[in-house]
A and B are shown apart, each in its own frame.
Chain A
């Protein structure tokens, strides 16, 4: 018999490394034609951090995204970064990039101010133009401002900045302290179908709602959640290294089960954008939290569907069948 059920799971997760300093840094320079180069130690592991950092630089400088060149993760040629870990790059390196771009922009605005006849604080940039606030027709190109800054004022527009979240160490006795600068929250609901004859579980749907602060690139944020759910599904139902006397017996994908496209359910992602005042344009992070609620939501759905509580991952068909048998035996006794 096939039985369906729903399960829910919530979570809280921090942005950034625990307690100890985990800074990121960036250098920014603007060329005479209004294009820019960002140098940072931040490393794109496929999650899209280079894209997000380029968007942050472009927004702050007021230039096109495609006008930004990213030079990343070279310990000799880019400034320090702690690493692409702890869901920290958007928040921490994003802040460093925004500050460095802000410094370069200040040089541009000061050059433009001389031409536009207002103080630099009366100017703003977007779409490659410097404009007088409230008088958008009074404008000059970012490229003209850059040429003037370099060629007339002798001040090339550059910036250099770092960011480190405000944290404290934990008291060794009580564990008390402020280990993180910011937190994100999420909930996922899973709907499953349990075959009570075979113990097999099919995940039908997952609805995921994640607060990641302002989503710098919603497509990438959704991609993180979808990927995390696939990983969480594997953790819940199939992945397990089997060791015998310390030797990994299933060291191939033929006998180490990963979810495939056939296992991935319909996924509905909702991004809840609670702006973080200390984040770049209100952004926080999303990389790791994406997978946290998936396994418990699936396990709770299995319980809802079939009445069995599996407490050891992964919830394989044999564990589910064994639990169903115990349940039936209890009913017979009753």
Chain B
């Protein structure tokens, strides 16, 4: 296929003019005359029983038009693989980002002041912040009798035979940290009930259709009575993939029949939205003397935080790609997702794979050094080629990893390092 007239061209962004002239309407820009501003009360405890929530004093504060608590949420759970996350905490809080109540008032300051007047009685519970500790039988439990939320296993070939074939076996453990998406635009939404009675939410979200179906579920309103419109978005990176303030914005708008706006502060972005899961990764590989990798075992421990959110799917994607772009005949990958009282891991650009890619590529250089090969030569020996197999058994064609490696090393002169003695 040649002779494209539009495809392949460096055309200016479709929305570029609106953006550079400040006319694009981001979530934080959506505004209505007479709209109310809502603020959300967060748990001061990482793990506690909720004994009582009393918002009666707050609802009498100046400018306050409505307060919602867990009792106002028709179906107070959401989640993609595990229906474990409340819109507003009811029986327990499981991390410091848990929302307790929301207030709509004429000004943001009035809403903030009213939050201080909400009385909540907690009974603090022992908490756990380390996934290794959380897996121990004596650890405090977030749910039921185990903190293990889910496990994943992928195997290819015969690992035991692989170890026997190996001349050398090397093992390394890697750890990755918790990071925030840090999109410049915070989460922001405006909810209103339109003239037809349709609850409409303008929100800076990456998945408006998922937000709409989850809103329909938690509000118990049919999907044709809930409308989600994604505004212009100041970055998402996976951080705007699930319900955040939309349910309370809708509940407050439905209660007051006025538009309700919520904008997260940067502190809320850090404390109360999803993060990249911290992983503990153990890589064990068997090598032949000539540098051929014959076996690989990977163990992944993922800190879910207080709710599973995208943690199960993230772990699955991490596991599928944990062996890297290498042709390894014998593989076993095991992953476990563990609840803790830390921030909730969600979707973030790369969905678990940046963590494993860091580990497998550092490990690759360790293996190369062990057999005395240059990192590029070692990779050339082991990288996937057409017809290569992923740990899932999926056979790949048009495998271009070696083409990309040649292009990258040609761009920098791989052998030459300025200033190297």
Using a CB–CB cutoff of 8 Å, the interface residues on chain A facing chain B are 2-14, 18, 41, 43-46, 48, 50-51, 54-56, 58-59, 62, 64-65, 70, 72-76, 80-86, 126-127, 170, 173-180, 183, 185-189, 191, 193, 205, 207-211, 214-220, 228, 231-232, 234-236, 239-241, 243, 245-248, 250-253, 256, 258, 268, 270, 272, 274-276, 281-282, 287-289, 291-293, 295-297, 299-300, 303-304, 309, 311-314
Contact = CB atoms under 8 A, between A and B. Distances in A.
Contacts of B60: none
A208 B407 CA distance: 8
A282 B7 CA distance: 10
Contact of A10 (B226, B267, B379): B379
A281 B392 contact: no
Residue in B175, B224, B271, B333 with the greatest tally of chain A CB atoms within 10 Å: B271
Given A43-B230, A185-B401, A292-B353, 16 more contacts: A14-B321, A74-B229, A75-B223, A75-B228, A76-B224, A83-B208, A85-B238, A85-B347, A127-B5, A180-B394, A187-B407, A189-B414, A215-B8, A287-B349, A291-B350, A299-B362
B63 interface: no
* Interface size band for B: 35 or more
Nearest to B394: A178
B411 interface: yes
Contacts of A84: 206-207, 236
A276 B400 CA distance: 12
B417 A9 contact: no
A234 B411 contact: no
A274 B405 contact: no
A181 B238 CA distance: 21
21 contacts: A4-B418, A5-B417, A8-B361, A45-B240, A51-B13, A55-B9, A73-B229, A75-B212, A83-B241, A85-B238, A127-B5, A175-B319, A211-B404, A217-B9, A218-B10, A243-B178, A245-B46, A251-B270, A272-B403, A312-B177, A313-B176
Interface in B1-59: 1, 4-15, 46-47
A291 B408 contact: no
Contacts of B207: 43, 82-85
A185 B325 contact: yes
Nearest to A64: B6
A281 B409 contact: no
Interface of B: 1, 4-15, 46-47, 95-96, 127, 129, 152-156, 172-180, 182, 198, 205-212, 223-224, 226-230, 232-238, 240-241, 266-267, 269-271, 275, 313, 316-317, 319-321, 324-325, 333, 341-343, 347, 349-351, 353-354, 357-362, 364-366, 375-376, 379, 383-384, 390-394, 396, 398-401, 403-409, 411-412, 414, 417-420
B413 to A, nearest CB: 9
A166 to B, nearest CB: 11
Given A43-B207, A81-B209, A175 B152 contact: yes
